[in-house]
Amino acid sequence: MTVQKISFQIGDQVVHSAYGPGVIIELDEKKLSGRSRQYYVVEVHDLTLWVPIDQVGDRNLRRPTPAGEFERLFTILSSPGDALPPDRHERKLHLLERLQGKNLESVCLVIRDLTLHRNTSRMNDTDNAILERSREALLLEWSNVLSIPMMQAERELRQLLEGGKEH
């Protein structure tokens, strides 16, 4: 299987897998350990990141989810959740495996299912941390792509998840 390289230009909107939405502000070349590499310089909030061009892909840097995809994501969030494994170790592995997709659909499934789990079972610290990171990633991109305030995205997410409980 070949890995498709994504190329970006200065000014392109991107999403970093760990830091969220940002913009390419520069292409740079740095020499580290005697090896020269090219980097995308990405501004994310008040951070500047250097992402090696040869390591770009869904795991590190991707294009934002198109605005038209959010209706499908909202349907996922408002649908009934799937039960998660009762064993905390199995549950953690299941959730982390799902998040390896690094796309918002995976994040929405994790949020939906952990919300159901929270309503029916006790959450541990790992569950809470995964839910919080997932919510933050979703809300940052949601707010950015749809050009709405973060508080509005949070309110709408809460309403979608509450609607999912009734199904």
Rounded mean pLDDT of 44-55? 86
Average pLDDT for 87-91: 95
CA 82 to chain CA centroid, Å, is: 20
Express as a percent the part of the chain with pLDDT over 70: 92
Query: What is the reported pTM?
Result: 0.81
* Positions of CATH 1.20.58.1290 in the chain: 67-165
Could you give the residue range(s) of every CATH 2.40.10.170 domain in the chain?
13-62
The residue written with tokens 């541990």 in the block is 124
138: tokens are: 């979703």
How long is the chain? 167
Query: 79: helix, coil or strand?
Result: coil
Q: Is the pLDDT of residue 16 over 70?
A: yes
Higher pLDDT, 155 or 165: 155
pLDDT score recorded for residue 46: 87
C-alpha span between 138 and 158 (Å, rounded) = 12
Cβ-based neighbours of 137, under 8 Å, separated by 6 or more: 20, 104, 107
In this predicted structure, the answer to whether residue 167 has a pLDDT above a threshold of 70 is no
Nearest by Cα to 74 from 138, 150, 7? 138
Average pLDDT of the segment spanning 32-50: 89
> In whole numbers, what is the pLDDT of the chain averaged over residues?
88
Distance, in Å, from the CA atom of 127 to the CA atom of 145, rounded to the nearest integer, reads 27
Architecture of the domain whose range is 13-62: Beta Barrel (2.40)
Q: What is the mean pLDDT of residues 15-20?
A: 84
Mean pLDDT of 130-152: 94
Report the CATH superfamily, name and number, of domain 67-165.
CarD-like, C-terminal domain (1.20.58.1290)
How confident is the model at residue 123, as a pLDDT?
Answer: 95
Question: pLDDT at position 166, please?
Answer: 39
Lookup result for tokens 């299941």: 94
- The dihedral over CA atoms of 72, 94, 128, 124, expressed in degrees to the nearest 10, equals 150
Residue 4 is predicted with a pLDDT of 44
Average pLDDT over residues 133-158: 94
